[in-house]
Amino acid sequence: MGDSRTEGGFDEFMAARWSALFHLARLLTGGDRHRAEDLLQEALVKLWFAWPRVADQAPEAYVRKVLARAAARSARRRWWGERPVEQVPELPAVGDVSVAVAERSRLEAALSLLPPAQRAAVVLRYYQDLPEAQVAEALGCPLGTARSHATRGVARLRRILSDANEPVG
């Protein structure tokens, strides 16, 4: 008799949703690829153990909740600021990067400046397009708090992005 996780579709779920969940984890960690990988691995391990319980319900919602809560915990417990590198990276040549990629990078950088709860609320509400009730459930807070985090996060994003567009001088 085989393991209920492989028979129940855990492998298929992971293969089908890995890319989208990894992108969500990157957004929740402010664009840090390595933290996102660690975060997603932690969430998928928890899903593995909970699979018999959640397989027939909503495994993706379960992973989103684990990711959002783990990202908030991780941001509180460690400093993820500057990291030393041996060599300063070269700036890309003008015209090498498409406008869409540049805009996405700009948005990800602005997202990384938000507090973890606001960042999670904005990403879940507007990137994942979840209803406010599911955002509140994923964050483990009341609906009004989730709504407030999302509203304040969007307002702060607008300020950050508009300040970045103003000429210096």
pLDDT digits (tens, 9 = 90+) for 119-138: 999 999 998 888 999 999 98
Question: Which fold would CATH assign to domain 4-79+97-165?
Answer: Butyryl-CoA Dehydrogenase, subunit A; domain 3 (1.20.140)
Give the number of other Cβ atoms within 10 Å of residue 105's Cβ: 12
Q: What is the residue extent of each domain of the chain?
A: 4-79+97-165
Q: Closest by alpha carbon to 49, among 17, 7, 10?
A: 10
Which residue shows structure tokens 């855990």? 10
- Residue 67 CA to residue 43 CA, distance in Å, equals 6
- pLDDT range class, residue 1, cuts 50, 70, 90: very low
| pLDDT per position as a tens digit, 29-68 | 888 888 889 889 999 999 999 999 998 888 999 999 998 8
Whether pLDDT at 169 is above 60:
no
For residue 22, what pLDDT is reported?
A: 93
Paired tokens of 17: 């949703």
For residue 106, what pLDDT is reported?
A: 85
For residue 141, what pLDDT is reported?
A: 92
- Residue 57 CA to residue 68 CA, distance in Å, equals 19
For residue 4, what pLDDT is reported?
A: 52
Whether pLDDT at 93 is above 70:
no
Task: For residue 6, count CB atoms less than 10 angstroms from its CB and return exposed for 0-12, middle for 13-18, buried for 19 or more.
Answer: exposed
Give a three-class secondary structure readout of 71-85: HHHHHHHCCCCCCCC
For residue 47, what pLDDT is reported?
A: 92
pTM for the predicted model, two decimal places: 0.58
81-89 average pLDDT score: 68
- At position 52, the amino acid (one-letter code) is P
